[in-house]
């Protein structure tokens, strides 16, 4: 009986916590609300899974990064050459992932430093089918729940296969980028491009967009 009572108390407390955390969310599923509520715990337990790699030799690409163009969520085309002189964070995203809460800190990072860096999200359904929404639904979800204003690309493929987007082919093929073959291992992996179009680093999902490791990779205070 005591075990049952304790379980009921824990369940009730958890339900209240999830409700409080999600008081301002809109059009979220129950799963999304639970994931958002327990995002801090997910980030904490993920710290041991870091697999960051860095371009320590400052190797130049064989194919110019600035020659790439991407289609954005709204159908417009973004030419990477328009971003010369800025650092760029490219991150594959999903709406139903334990790391989805990173949208909030990615937006904060973008707003704080957007004069010298930009962030581009690449929605993909490549990991455990955690992004089933279409482009319009993704844009609405990100804006309403996380205030996202940084650009979102058209939903596509980031893992290595025949449908992989051009920009991710460049990011994950050392014959193109000069040194890195590492593809995203899960949602919310980050690739950093420096001001001169070099692939500078790859940071895995568990790296907080506002954490010390991220800011060090970006050369921010």
**What is the CA 103 to chain-centroid distance, rounded?**
7
Domains of the chain by residue range: 1-37, 51-218
- The confidence score (pLDDT) of residue 7 equals 41
- The confidence score (pLDDT) of residue 27 equals 67
- The confidence score (pLDDT) of residue 34 equals 72
Helix (H) or strand (E) holding 109: helix 102-113
Query: How do strand 117-123 and strand 87-93 relate by DSSP bridges?
Result: parallel
Strands (E), the chain: 53-54, 69-71, 77-79, 87-93, 117-123, 190-193, 199-203
In this structure, are residues 122 and 168 in contact, taking their beta carbons and an 8 Å threshold?
A: yes
- The confidence score (pLDDT) of residue 18 equals 30
- The confidence score (pLDDT) of residue 10 equals 35
- The confidence score (pLDDT) of residue 124 equals 98
Could you give the CA distance from residue 216 to residue 221 in angstroms, rounded to a whole number? 8
- The confidence score (pLDDT) of residue 32 equals 74
**pTM (2 decimals)?**
0.84
- The confidence score (pLDDT) of residue 14 equals 33
The 8-class DSSP code of residue 132 comes to -
Regions in the chain scoring below 50 on pLDDT: 4, 6-21, 23, 48-49
> Which positions are annotated as active-site residues?
97
In this structure, are residues 153 and 70 in contact, taking their beta carbons and an 8 Å threshold?
A: yes
Which of 19, 194, 18 has the alpha carbon at shortest distance from 90? 194
Class of domain 51-218: alpha beta
- The confidence score (pLDDT) of residue 13 equals 33
């Amino acid at each position: 009986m005591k075990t049952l009572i304790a379980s009921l108390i824990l369940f009730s407390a958890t339900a209240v916590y999830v409700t409080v955390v999600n008081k301002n969310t809109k059009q979220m599923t129950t799963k999304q609300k639970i994931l958002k509520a327990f995002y801090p715990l997910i980030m904490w337990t993920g710290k041991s899974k870091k697999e960051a790699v860095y371009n320590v030799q400052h190797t130049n690409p064989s194919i110019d990064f600035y020659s790439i163009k991407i289609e954005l969520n709204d159908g417009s085309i973004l030419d990477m050459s328009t971003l010369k002189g800025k650092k760029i964070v490219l991150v594959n995203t999903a709406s139903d992932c334990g790391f989805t809460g990173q949208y909030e800190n990615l937006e904060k990072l973008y707003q704080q430093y957007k004069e010298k860096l930009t962030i581009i999200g690449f929605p993909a359904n490549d990991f455990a089918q955690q992004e089933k929404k279409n482009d319009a639904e993704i844009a609405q979800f990100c804006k309403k729940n996380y205030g996202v204003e940084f650009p979102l690309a058209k939903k596509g493929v980031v893992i290595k296969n025949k449908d992989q987007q051009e920009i991710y082919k460049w990011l994950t093929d050392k014959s193109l980028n000069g040194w890195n073959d590492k593809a995203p291992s899960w949602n919310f992996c980050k690739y950093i491009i420096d001001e001169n179009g070099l692939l500078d680093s790859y940071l895995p999902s568990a790296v907080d967009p506002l954490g010390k490791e991220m800011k060090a990779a970006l050369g921010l205070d």
